[in-house]
Structure formats: C-alpha cells, structure tokens
Structure 1
Amino acid sequence: MDLRHIDYIRVIAELGKLSAAATRLGVAQPTLSKILSRVEDEFGTKLFNRSPHGVTPTPFGSAFLERSAVMERELRDLHAVSDLLASGDRGQVRIGAEQSWLFSYFPTILSRLYLKRPGLVVTVESGTTQDLSRLLADGKLDVCCQTFDDPPISVFSYEVLYKDSVAIVGRRGHPLSIESDLPAILSSDWIVANPEGSNTGYSWLVQIAHQNGLPPPRIAVRTQEYHLILKILRTTNLLAAMPYSIARASAKELSLIRLTSPPRERSTGLMWRPDRPTTPAMKIFMEVTREVNSEYHASENGVTAPVI
C-alpha cells in the first residue's frame, strides 16, 4: 500500500463523500475509487459502507483510521532518523511551551533560531504541564519547555535550566503593595491559571491558607492566557500568582505583593523522550534555548539583557 493512500482514506472519512474527497485531493473520482478498492482488496474487507448519501467507516475502517495515525507518527520518526544524517539546516521541530515561556523567552528564542536556521519549520503548541506531558508521551511533540512535576515524570529525559519562583502581583499602586498582611492577601479576589494543577501558584496559596487556618483564596477569573491576566490586573484590584519571569517582564505595569512566607520555587527547563531520536533540529533549538535562558538570568545580575 502506498503511504499516500492513508491520507486519501482519512480525507474520504472526514468528508463522507468520494466526490468531495477527490476534489480536495486533486485526483479524479474514478481514480480515487480504484485506490480505495485496491486497499480494501489488500485487506480483504471493506473500509466504508456505501450509500446514496455518501460513505461511513465500517468497524474495520474505524480501526484502520485509528492505527493510521500511529503509522504516520512512526513515519515522521523515520524521517527524524534520516535528519540525523543531515546538517540540521532543514527539517522540523515540534515544540510544546507553557504560557510562561511564550510570554517571556520564546520571542527571543524563535527569532534567534530563525536567524541561525531559516530552513527549519517550527511548530509551537501551548498548554498546561499536564497537557504538554501527554502530547510528548503520544509522540506529537519533540521537546517541551515547561515546569516539571516534583519529581519529574520518570519516562522523560529533562534538563533543569532555572528555578522560577512564584510572584504575587497586582496593579500599579494596588493598596496591598504598600501595606499588606496574610489575611488581607488571601481574602482578596484572584485571577488564576490552571487552579487544578498540582504545581501552580494557586495550589501554593491554598497550602499557605491551610497552614494558617484561613479559607482558600476566592477565584474570580480562570484563564490560561497570561496576556489576558495582565490586562485584567491593570484595571482591577484582583491579585494573581504567576511565574516571576512573567512578573519581571511586566514590572512597569505591576506591583509585587510581599508575603512573609518564602516564595515557592519551581524547576523549569527542557523535557523530551529518550526513546526518540534527537534530531539536528531539536539540538539547535535546545542550544538556542540554553543560550537565551542563560542571558536572561545573567541580566538579573546586572548583565545586558539578551538580544536576537
């Protein structure tokens, strides 16, 4: 079976009509019908039930479609092995990144990566720690930039690049930035990202509240989008707990709210699957990420901030 036929069959299933699938694929309908019949003959069973209204997958057709997605991922990995023999100037890399990375480091990382390897195709997916770990395990990502669970998931390889603490922030001139105490902070309304996660600023606040016999902070707004969080903070008295890297990048717009409890630190860095090939595209991305990260944290100590 020609590997292109997998894509043909998936398009037929998606559109439910041979005529529509032939149009999208740019082939004649009789040709597409012959290809489908040839594949069905090869397996000795039908992939689709035909009717005047179109086609629907048979039980075997559904199983074929499910397994074809795995076949395509394995095929991409074979191409990755081939890339190991190349110079790294071409190829693709699929990156997962938490919002904190997208907001702080990624514009510089991707700009510099493009200047060094303009032939690379880069795909970026965003999500929570749990989302990205799942996509990495499924083979849909090559490498992730994220906060690690403590301890990190054992099936992955990881490299800690820095420790990012959790900062409590409010708008410029927020009353609690001038004078605050723990009950006043915890009784405020909050805008939070991923409150259900185990490795988040909100879970840290809940823990502090419990230790001091106080009720957990009330969530007024939930969102994963840090750009939205920052816009809401600027115009309200809501508070947010966010990575210090984001708070630092937004220092002109926000005020830090001081807590007597020590700030929570989180290990952050690169994570990948050790059983998959590390392609030249992955290697150059990881090198650039290390460079930019090192420069950002050197700038915290008075060194010039990173440039593209």
Structure 2
Amino acid sequence: MKLPRLLDGRLKLRHLVLLEALLRQGTVVGAAAQLHVTQPVATKGLHELEDILGVKLFDRGPRGITPTVYGSAFAEYATAVLTQLTEAGRHIAELADAERGTVVVGTHLAGSNVLLPRAITAIKRDRPHLTVIVREAAPEPLLVELVAGRVDMIVGRLTAPSDGQVTRHKLYDESVDLVVRASHPLAGRTDVDLAELGRYPWILPGAETVLRRELEEFFARNGIALPTNRVETTSFLTVRHLLLENDVIAALPSLIARDEPRLVALAVPLEQIGHSVGVTLPARTPSPSAEALIDCLTAVAAEMTDR
C-alpha cells in the first residue's frame, strides 16, 4: 500500500473533527447534526478523508456506521491531534491572562464530598476569576473524557497504577463506613447483628465501581443477600439527601460522616474495604490553571490528614 501523504494540504482539521463526530454518534446523520452541517456535507467529508488515506474507514449498515480497523487506528491519532490543539489554545489563553482560565475536573464519590470543595474554595480565594467546571460521573467514563482531553483531571478513588495514558498521584488513604442518619434505628448501637443490615433499604454504588464489588464480597462473606430494596447512585448529593430523609444504609468514605453531624457511622467494621484518594492526570503537560488546582488539592489533603 502506498504511504498516504497527509501533509500535502488536502487533509484539513475539519476532516479530523468529522471523524471524531462520526465515532461518537455512530451515524452520518448524527455527526452532521452535532457539527451543524447537512448530511451530504458530512458524507462528502468522509469520502474525502477516505480518498486521502486510501482506505475505507467505516462499514455502513442498516443501524449506522462501524469503524473498520483502519478507522479505529487513524482515530487514535486524530483524537490526539485535536486534543493537543485544544490544550494549546487553552494554554496560550491562560498564559496571556494568568489569573483566568478554565479547569475541568471529573470526580466521583470519594474525593467529591470534602477534598474537592475545599480545594476549589482555596483556589478561588487566590484566583477568583478562574472557572472550575466539575463533572460527576462513574470512573470509567471519566477516564475516557480525561484521555480525550475533555477533562483536565479526575479527583477520587485510585483504582489502578499509572500507565502510558494516565498518571495517578495518591493524596491520602481513607476508610469506608456504613453510614446512616442519626435517628436511624441502628444508630448508636454497639451490638448490630449483620443479619439486621439486610432488613433495611440500601444505597449502593453502581455495578461498574470497585466499591460495589467490594460490598458484594462483604455481603457474600457474611451470608447476607444483596439488598433488593436499594437505590444505585454515585451522586453524593443524592446519597446525602436520601440518607437524611430515610432509614437507609450507605457505604461511604469515612470523611463524610465525620463532617456531617446528622450522619453517623454504624459499629460494623469494614476492615477489608478502603481506598486511596488522589488525582489522576493525563499523559500531557497540565495547563497553568490545572497546575494551580493540583497544588491546592495537595495542600488541602495534607491539612486533612494532619488532623
């Protein structure tokens, strides 16, 4: 196969943007709508890109399009180019105005309740015009956003070591407690029978989380069936409201109960469940705004562990 000439002026950034939209939407119609162009324009752009590369990038089917091996391979490089250009634009803008800028933070339950709000409070004292965007989601979708350049960092539980795509920095270790509201029938008791736990409604993290798997192992070790009366969520605001309004049980990072007087931890040890909280960063140089927030997170974490 003849080597494609990608620097002869035919390949445009709009081709890379179109490719990313096609991958995300899975249809030409969806990609056209995302880019605010007509379907014929999107189809023509795809044909141009395939002509430039000399290969077929997508298989067409009745339910949409599926990337070929060539499409998947080229998409990795296209996404990297777009990510680098986005970061370059933000970096230049922030260097031009060091006190402004935007940092996008992904977070899940561990870290979102105490660490991140305190760090945001600290950085806003020094840089009031810096915009902090917080996106709450499960860990795996956030990792996709991080690698794609749509999120600057993830604050929360560290579930794997660093690799070629991301770097993970531990800030502190945290235990997990079974938490209820202060008026819960089990609150304050020192003789809680594990069998009693299954008689109450629960709030469980999503099935895709490590904590969920650990809780399922806890139930299995103690001969307790997985609660059928349950809500599944990783949203701290939802968990907090449900805890305060109902006699539910939730497994939460220990800092939550410590900082909320209306919530208490049950006298049920979870010795085998705990985690490290930290920052997950992409394998690229952080922007000045991101660097500033990382510094605040590190300082706040140090204060929290010194208590």
TM-score of the two chains, using structure 1 as the length reference: 0.68
Is this contact kept in 1: 2:91–2:288, CA < 8 A? no
State the match for 2:238 in structure 1: 228
Alignment equivalent of 2:145, drawn from 135, 139, 147: 135
Give the unaligned 5+ runs of structure 1: 46-55, 302-308
Pairwise CA distance, 1:237: 2.3
Pairwise CA distance, 1:95: 1.5
Query: Partners in 2 of 1:248 and 1:184 — Cα distance?
Result: 26
Pairwise CA distance, 1:148: 0.8
Structure of higher CA gyration radius: 1
Is this contact kept in 2: 1:81–1:277, CA < 8 A? no
Aligned counterparts, 1:1-308, within 5 A: 3=13, 70-79=80-89, 82=92, 88-149=98-159, 152-155=160-163, 156-179=166-189, 180-189=191-200, 190-198=202-210, 200=211, 203-204=214-215, 206-207=217-218, 209-210=220-221, 213-221=222-230, 222-252=232-262, 254-262=263-271, 264-273=273-282, 275-298=283-306, 301=307
Query: Partners in 1 of 2:236 and 2:277 — Cα distance?
Result: 17
**3-state SS, counterpart of residue 133 of structure 1:** helix
Pairwise CA distance, 1:225: 1.9
Q: Which moved more, 1:67-76 or 1:159-168?
A: 67-76
Query: Partners in 1 of 2:12 and 2:171 — Cα distance?
Result: 44
Pairwise CA distance, 1:196: 4.1
Is this contact kept in 2: 1:188–1:217, CA < 8 A? no
State the match for 2:5 in structure 1: none
**Percent of aligned pairs with the same residue?**
20
Pairwise CA distance, 1:136: 2.3
Query: Partners in 2 of 1:245 and 1:131 — Cα distance?
Result: 25
Query: Partners in 2 of 1:296 and 1:70 — Cα distance?
Result: 37
Q: Which amino acid aligns with 2:199?
A: S
Is this contact kept in 1: 2:119–2:297, CA < 8 A? yes
Relative to structure 1, the CA distance from residue 242 to residue 88 in structure 2 (aligned partners, 3 Å threshold; closer, same or farther) is same
Relative to structure 1, the CA distance from residue 83 to residue 271 in structure 2 (aligned partners, 3 Å threshold; closer, same or farther) is farther
Q: Which amino acid aligns with 2:293?
A: F
Relative to structure 1, the CA distance from residue 131 to residue 247 in structure 2 (aligned partners, 3 Å threshold; closer, same or farther) is farther
CA distances 1:214-236 after superposition (whole Å, capped 9, x unpaired)? 12441422122222222222333
Q: Which amino acid aligns with 2:285?
A: P
